[in-house]
Each structure stands twice: as C-alpha cells, then as structure tokens.
Amino acid sequence: MKYLKVFILLLIVCLSCAREKELQKSLFDQAHENGVLANEGFRRCDNFMISWLNYADTQTGLIPRNLYESKHLWNAKDAAADNYPFMVLTSSITNPGLFEGTMHDILETESSVTPRLGKMPDTYSFIKQGFEEEAVDTAAIIFGASEYIKDGLLPLTEWLGYSPWSERLIGMLDDIWAYAPVRTGFDRIPSLNVEVNGEILQTLSRMYWMTGDEKYLEWAVRLGDYYLLGDHHPTRDLESMRLRDHGCEIVSGLCELYCMVSFARPEMKESYKMPIHEMLDRILECGINEHGMFYNNINPISGEIIDSRIADTWGYTYNGFYTVYMIDGIEKYRSAIIHTLENLHHYKAFNWERGSADGYADAVESALNLYNREPVPGTREWIDTEIAVMWSMQDSSHREQAIEWKDSGIIEGWHGDGNFARTSIMYCLWKTQGITIQPWREDVIFGALQENDKLYLSLSAEDDWEGEIIFDYNRSAVNMKLPLDYPRINQFPEWFVVSDDTKYRLENTGDNQEQVVDGTILKSGFEIKIDKDKDCHLLIQAL
C-alpha cells in the first residue's frame, strides 16, 4: 500500500510536469507566431523607408510631399509631420547606419533651409531651391510647425528621448509662442484654430515634464483658461465640434492639460474640473453611436449630428476620456471605452477614410493604445485582422498613376504612407513586447508573449545570427519624465519593461541553463547567438 501511494504521487508529479511542458510549448508557439507577424511588419516598414528615400530631392535630400502633383515640394504639415519622422523611427530599428547618417543629414538640411519665422519652416520648392510662396503667411506657418511637432517630432521624442529631433521640436515650439499673433483676454495665443491649439496643448503638457521649464506650463494654462474659463468652451460655446482629426485634438489636449495641472497645480485642477467633465459628458450625450464610435462632426449645443460618418481617430479622443478617468476615477468614462472595444467586431474591414491606409492606421492605433490599458476580449483579434487589411494595401497599386510602385514599398504615394509605418511599428512592438534586436536582419524572427509575470521570448533565424536583444523600459518616466503613463496620441505603448534596479532570471529552455541578469544589461542589450534553423526559447522573470 505504501509503494502504491508513492507510485501515485510520482505519477501525479510526472503528469503535472508534462502539463507544464505542454503549456510552456504552447506559449512559446504563440510567441513565435507573434514573431512571424512582427517580422512581416518590420520588413514592410523597411521597404517603405527605402522606397521613399529613392524619391528624395537630389539637391537637398528632403522627402517630397507626395509623388503626384506635389513631388517638387517639401512642407511641414505633411512631408515633415507624417512621413519623414517614421522613416527615422524605422531606421532606428532596422538600419542604425541609415539612422545615424541619412536621417540626421535630412534633419540638418531641413533645419537650415526651411525656417522662415524664427525656427518655424515654410513650404520649400525643389525647383526654386527656395520658398514656394513669396508672401509670409504667419497662420499657415504656425499650423505647419504645430503639425510637424505633434504628429512627427513628439512621437520620435517619446521613443528616442532627448535627441536632435527633440531639439528641433523645442526650437519650433518656442518660436510658435514668440510669434503668437492672437490677442485674447488671457494674453496672446498661437491661433483660433482648435486643431493647432489642441496640438500645442498636447506638446506643452509633455514638454513641461520632460524639460521642467515653467514657461510650458504657463503657456498651456493660458490656452486652458481661454477654452475652459472663458467663452470658448468646446461644447458649451461652439456650434461645430469635429470629433475626428483636424478638430478632436482640442479634447485630448485639454485632457492632457488637466492631467498636468493635477500634479503641478492642484488649485488650477479644481478650476478646470467642472468644465472638463462638462465637455466629456456632452460628447458622450450626443457625439457617439450605439457602439460608442464618434461621429465626424456634431453641434454640441443643439445635439445635431453634422457629419454622421465614423471617426477613424476614435481612440485619440478616448485617450482624453481615459486620462480623466485615471485622475478622477469616473467610471462612466472607462465604461464608454470598454463598450467601444467590445463592439469593434462591427467594424471589420470598415471603410475608414474611404478605404485609405491612413484611416486604418489611425483606427488600429486607437485600439492598440486603449488595449494596452484595457485588454478587452476580442480586441486583439480585431487588431490582427485590421492590420492585415492595411498591410495588403502595400502589395498592389491602388491608383493608375502609381503602376511603377507595384513591386516597391510605396503604399499610396502621399505623406500618409508614413502613418502606415508608425502604426505598423506600434503593432510590431506589441508582438515583441517592446523588444528589438541589433543588428536587425530580415530572416531573424523574434516574438514574445507575456503571461502573468513571465515573458516567453522565441527567436529563430535562417542563418546563424549574433547580436543583442534590447528590452524596453519605462519610457514615459525615463524619456518624458511623466508622473503618470496616461494614453497619448502617437505614443508607443509600453508592454514588458525592465528596470535598472531589478534583476531578472533568464532561462534557456532548450538547454535548461539559466542566469541572473541586471535590468541595465537587458535595456542596453543582452548578447546572444542563434544557430540557423534552431529555435531559441527564453523565459524571463523579474526576481
């Protein structure tokens, strides 16, 4: 009887070990599948970057606005804001030599030949080798600078931290305020355009924390007072409110300001609290459909729907709602987001922006950023299917004029192609849990899956590879010095992050070897060799 009990106990242990190994294999298989998807995304972005560089101006190296009627022009609001920065981002991952060389060269040239008002640029003609327009249009220049900053340089700064691109950002931001032309009862502001002011609010809120410079807080409060304490409240005083891009920026901008003053000026937070809640409440009352999606445009005073089409940038506005939920704990703001994520299945292969890749990019980013905070079931599957639709747009020509692009990385031949790369890289970083490798190579497949407190990392290559695995870190705190990682437009969400003051156990399940490694080493790059056609499985856990 005693031996039977021992046998049964051993059998239970063996079965438990077998189940554990089977589960572990399943998780590594999923990590590999994630790696296959990430590999495709990184390759597509690399092809996009190389293809577009082939169309750079031969004299300046600047990227044209598009490959149609404006192929002889560079401008701030399009070429600089939406395309070039995501070539920089791509090269920082797939081609460091290009990043350190050509990408820096383009920035240096742009910074020297395009500024017209202080450091703010104006549209540049490759044919004239000078400005396209003789007259100086201050409003247009400020608009272009605000787009370049928020859409292009701010995402790069979130990813890279302090760099020549953040220097360019700060130089233009300061001059937007030096030339701010609009006089109000709250002192001068840059514009009456809610898109411009919303973009600037988002930038000021992040630059205040990154630099610690009080002027950015003061300028942001000036705009906050104008909209929240004056007679320009977005839902109480304005008869038209766009809830898509080119208008919705003011919502998330004011919410970012609200977050900033909650930590930096609590007394100001109390002044803004009711107007912020009023704005968000009214948007929920008359600005969404039954699935929680925002209409393109509403009259918030009357409740009339001006444009009933659905905004592809729905998550950009919900970022603001979630930020205020994080500050004030108002559950209905979070519930509205969860409701929308639960209804994404109604929007498979949806006609975002008339089927444009840019519309898909904004919609997928919307889901990714919110899924990072609220992993609602079904969202992951929706993101996977929609990124596949967007990627398919790079595989064939969609316009007769673009037949020569058929076998290239060009997507649609306009500045929105950069947003294809931006969102693709966000997606890839999700599938790798923020991990990148150096040197990157097309045949190296690396993917990860986080289960509870463990990270399952799968790597493989067609030929022997030797390099570094670079783990992600808390960029919101380290790069931006934010007191709270609230959801932000065009940020790159953090998944599995390592800390300098933490040690990690790395187990190679193939040879059952393990070692303890400092977080600083994982962040700067963990050296590893991969044999060709042999999977490498690493299990990582904080100690």
pLDDT, one tens digit per residue, over 466-476 is: 999 999 999 99
Question: Residue 173: CB partners within 8 Å, gap ≥ 6?
Answer: 145, 149, 200, 203, 204, 207, 216
The region of weakest confidence among 290-299, 380-389, 433-442, 510-519 is: 510-519
Does residue 464 lie within any of the structural domains?
yes
Does residue 423 lie within any of the structural domains?
no
| Mean pLDDT for the stretch of residues 376-401 | 86
Give the pLDDT band of residue 73 (cuts 50, 70, 90).
very high
Distance CA 366, CA 317 (A): 9
| Mean pLDDT for the stretch of residues 100-116 | 98
204-236 pLDDT per residue, tens? 999 999 999 999 999 999 999 999 999 999 999
Does residue 479 lie within any of the structural domains?
yes
User: Which residues span the domain enclosing 509?
Assistant: 444-542
Residue 395's pLDDT is what? 86
Distance CA 251, CA 198 (A): 7
Pairing of strands 465-470, 526-530: antiparallel
Does residue 118 lie within any of the structural domains?
no
Does residue 494 lie within any of the structural domains?
yes
| Mean pLDDT for the stretch of residues 124-146 | 97
Distance CA 29, CA 17 (A): 18
Quote helix, strand, coil % in the chain, to nearest 5. 55, 15, 30
Which residues does residue 250 pair with via DSSP β-bridges, in sequence order? Answer: none
Coil, helix or strand at residue 286: helix
Question: Residue 542: CB partners within 8 Å, gap ≥ 6?
Answer: 453, 498, 499, 502, 503, 504, 505
Residue 348's pLDDT is what? 97
Residue 8's pLDDT is what? 58
Distance CA 515, CA 526 (A): 12
Count of structural domains within the chain: 1
| Mean pLDDT for the stretch of residues 346-364 | 95
Does residue 385 lie within any of the structural domains?
no
Give the pLDDT band of residue 22 (cuts 50, 70, 90).
confident
Does residue 139 lie within any of the structural domains?
no
Return the percentage of the chain with pLDDT > 70, whole number.
94
| Mean pLDDT for the stretch of residues 284-289 | 98
User: Which CATH number is 530's domain given?
Assistant: 2.60.40.1180
Does residue 158 lie within any of the structural domains?
no
